[in-house]
Structure 1
Amino acid sequence: MFNLVRNEWMKIFRRVGTYVMLAILVVSIGVTGAAFKFLDSTAKESADWKKGVQTEIANDKKVLQETPRLNGYMKEEINKNIAINEYRLENGIKPYSKENVWSYVEKNAYLVMFVGLFTIIVSAGIVASEFSWGTIKLLLIRPISRSKILISKYITVLLYGLGQLAILFVISFLLGLILFGGFGESAHLVYIDGNVIEQNMVWYLIKTYLLKTIDVAMMATMAFMISAVFRSSSLAIGISVFLLFTGSNLTDLLAFKFDWAKYSLFANTDLTQYIGFQQPLVKGMTLGFSVTILLIYFLIFQMLAFIFFTKRDVSS
């Protein structure tokens, strides 16, 4: 199995596109660093931070009073801001006004979408390209089962996605250290189940990036399945990228009116909603619920991929 994975890894890095995607990720980190550095240089320290926080609380409460028909998700977001700001006042915790390395790393967590996109591209092509190039016949004549071939390809995709995430985290940390210096406050305030909780910033960021890997893995698994079923990398990339950019938005719209939206794949892939990175899309969703839904989708995707890859004949 190790040799199979190594061969697949070598195939990926023989392609120019692999280095282009890596360059795009690094450049994107640099662009966000430059943007945040500019904003940080123009930011001014508040002479009376408590007064500013009190103003934010008053404004948020005014919004709740004046817009009673606000959807549940937006209302929960405003309640979150109010609760965190009230906690700051009660405990004398000043909100940061200047960027630091940890705040920069946290904001760059949104660049995981690029990691997901690049992993989808690799995942969509790793099976389908063997058929389009005709190299699948060379693989299948070897004394190795089709299942092992497919597993090695899937493991390679996961390793590629994890590698991209590691690059995102490490470069964000190093660039943040260079641009902003200092580590800021060690405590980070999160809002979970109606309560404000202080968490260690480093541990919070580690959890955030680890949970983001689930999002990347599920999108890659979906693209992998489409690639194995339809044997078309362009179709797999097209469908997967379309769902990557529209799936969450469509689910958000449905969740405003229908609770059954919580059964959608895209309502559950981002598990950071349970550690305070953002709020659960539908009230009442739990970590256990989302993990169960993800397991169901994962099993369906893998079952389809293995059935079509191992059972379908390869035309001569």
Structure 2
Amino acid sequence: MLKLVRNELQKIFAKKSSWILMIILLGIITLACWVVAAVTPKADGVTLFSVTTSFNSFVTIFAVVIAAISLTEEFSKNTIKILLTRPYSRSQVLFSKLVAIMIYTLCLSLVTYAGSILIAMLFGNANGLTTVSKDWQNLTPLLSGFYGTLNNYVVTLFYIGLVFIFAGGFRSLGLAVTMGVGLIWLGSMASSLLSGFIIWKKLFWLKWNPLTQLYLNYRFGSGVIHIEDKLDVGYWPNLIAVLVYTLIFYLIANWIFSKRDISYS
């Protein structure tokens, strides 16, 4: 099993796109800090760091793209048949891909976090980054940003579980990526609309739906939003709910992948 995971990691990091996406993300953060520093000369490191935290959603988007490529390429290049001739089950093959993508996403998240700190200090300074502040949930900006990165990582796993369903069921890479990225962009809007409907109709038992639980992504960092008291289930129940939904999506994807006919792939 470890050999499978190692093989999948080699595939991911051997792709130029895996590195290009990482460079693009750091480039976007650098450009954003440069623009803010140019427009606001007095902007300090904390201000610039708060700007970089808003780009966590790009980590999710890029991870979804890599997840879709990892799975659909096996069918488009017909290498899935080679994989299945080895002494591994389809479930093991899919799980190894999930673990490899989780590791890549973690690397992407940590590189983005570390890069954000360095870039913010480059265009600003380190003043205030290690100072406890009410604006950062009574934590230091660095610690609050780190928690935000971890929360975004968990939510990214949620979307990866979804894209596995699409990638496992569709033969088209473009369709799998479009569906995954589309859900990310629409997720926030749909979550707000659904939350408003729940409050309006007082159907508070619906707060456990997957879209409402994605508020986990906004609990830390400069992008904190107010969560209606009757919708707020608390941090740990929220975290567990996201992980449970992710597991459910993965099990559905595993069932689809196990049943899929590969004779015409």
Q: TM-score range by the shorter chain?
A: 0.7 to 0.9
Q: Please tell me the residue identity of whatever aligns with 1:293.
A: A
Paired residues for 1:206-221 under 5 Å: 206-221=146-161
Contact 1:262-1:282 within 8 A present in 2 as well: no
The secondary structure found in structure 2 opposite 1:137 is helix
> Structure 1 residues 275 and 37, CA, compared in 2 at 3 Å: closer, same or farther?
closer
Q: Distance in 2 between matches of 1:263 and 1:209?
A: 23
2:242 pairs with 1:294 = yes
Contact 1:128-1:231 within 8 A present in 2 as well: yes
> Structure 1 residues 22 and 272, CA, compared in 2 at 3 Å: closer, same or farther?
closer
1:159 to 76, 94, 103: 103
TM-score, normalization by structure 2: 0.86
For the aligned residues, what is the CA RMSD?
A: 2.3
2:229 pairs with 1:283 = yes
Q: Distance in 1 between matches of 2:185 and 2:227?
A: 17
Q: CA deviation at 1:145?
A: 2.0
Partner of 1:243: 183
- The structure whose RCO (Cα within 8 Å, separation 6+) is larger is 2
Paired residues for 1:18-97 under 5 Å: 18-41=18-41, 43=42
Q: CA deviation at 1:311?
A: 3.3
TM-score, normalization by structure 1: 0.73
Paired residues for 1:117-136 under 5 Å: 117-136=61-80
Q: Distance in 2 between matches of 1:300 and 1:280?
A: 28
Q: Distance in 1 between matches of 2:8 and 2:147?
A: 29
Mean alpha-carbon deviation: is it higher for 129-138 or for 264-273? Answer: 264-273
> Structure 1 residues 8 and 31, CA, compared in 2 at 3 Å: closer, same or farther?
same
Q: CA deviation at 1:134?
A: 0.7
Q: Distance in 2 between matches of 1:26 and 1:200?
A: 23
Partner of 2:4: 4
Q: Distance in 2 between matches of 1:31 and 1:273?
A: 23
Gaps (5+ residues) in structure 2? Answer: none
Partner of 2:257: 309
> Structure 1 residues 257 and 312, CA, compared in 2 at 3 Å: closer, same or farther?
closer
Q: CA deviation at 1:190?
A: 4.5
> Structure 1 residues 238 and 209, CA, compared in 2 at 3 Å: closer, same or farther?
same
Equivalent residues, number: 255
Q: Please tell me the residue identity of whatever aligns with 2:82.
A: L
The secondary structure found in structure 1 opposite 2:133 is strand
Gaps (5+ residues) in structure 1? Answer: 44-97, 192-196
Paired residues for 1:105-120 under 5 Å: 105-120=49-64
Contact 1:211-1:272 within 8 A present in 2 as well: yes
2:216 to 271, 275, 283: 271
Structure number with larger C-alpha Rg: 1
Q: Please tell me the residue identity of whatever aligns with 2:4.
A: L
Q: Distance in 1 between matches of 2:217 and 2:17?
A: 30
Q: Please tell me the residue identity of whatever aligns with 1:283.
A: D
Q: Percent of pairs identical after alignment?
A: 25
Q: Distance in 1 between matches of 2:111 and 2:143?
A: 18
